[in-house]
Amino acid sequence: MTFNLANIPVLETERLVMREWRESDFDLVHGIYSHEENSRYVGGLFNRSQSWRYMASHVGHWQFRGFGMWVVERKSDGTAIGYSGLWCPEGWPEPEVGYILHRDFHGQGYASEVARRGLQFAYEDLGWTTAISLIAADNHASKNVARKLGGHLEANTVIFDGKAEIWRHLPASEFLGASNE
């Protein structure tokens, strides 16, 4: 594991690199939040200014919490395809593993790959013992990712006036044991 100047660790999977945020990532973020298909489960459509502030909040999350979301790049060509990682802003029920990929990169197994690596980091490096994912009731793709990681539906909740399901991931001992088999 290497660290950049902001002390955000760089993680890797077989096909992907999870790295720090850069100003050049703005077009990716705005591309996600300016399209209904991408943004409907993560806050809705944003204008450019809102997209910028949201991106900046991810950088700040690392400073305040010591963990956060990484920009996800494909190793094969360096293309930034979305972001994934650990998230727990004010008002969240507990720390979450989350992700969002630009719509052009859906259906290729990338979400499961980075969510698994983020959860591994949370358990091995941060000492978390459990984690959740907050998923909209009609977001079947994200539910499938949670299931692939061993997660299960635990409860319903309301976050920022929107309904969500709390999906509980395997506890650290089970997840890490399964990852090493």
What's the pLDDT score for residue 91?
84
Tokens of 23: 């100003």
DSSP state of 60: H
Tell me if 6 sits within 8 A of 71, measured CB to CB: no
What's the pLDDT score for residue 158?
78
Task: Name residues of the chain where pLDDT drops below 50.
Answer: 1-5
What's the pLDDT score for residue 2?
47
pTM for the structure as a whole: 0.87
Local structure of 180: helix, strand or coil: coil
What's the pLDDT score for residue 28?
86
Q: Is 72 exposed, middle or buried (0-12, 13-18, 19+ CB in 10 A)?
A: buried
Q: Alpha-carbon distance 136 to 19, whole Å?
A: 26
**b/e for 104-141, b at 16 or more Cβ within 10 A?**
eeeeeebbbbbbbbbbbbbbeeeebeebbbbbbeebee
pLDDT tens across 93-111, in order? 899 999 988 889 989 999 9
What's the pLDDT score for residue 3?
44
Tell me if 99 sits within 8 A of 114, measured CB to CB: yes
What's the pLDDT score for residue 179?
61
What's the pLDDT score for residue 51?
73
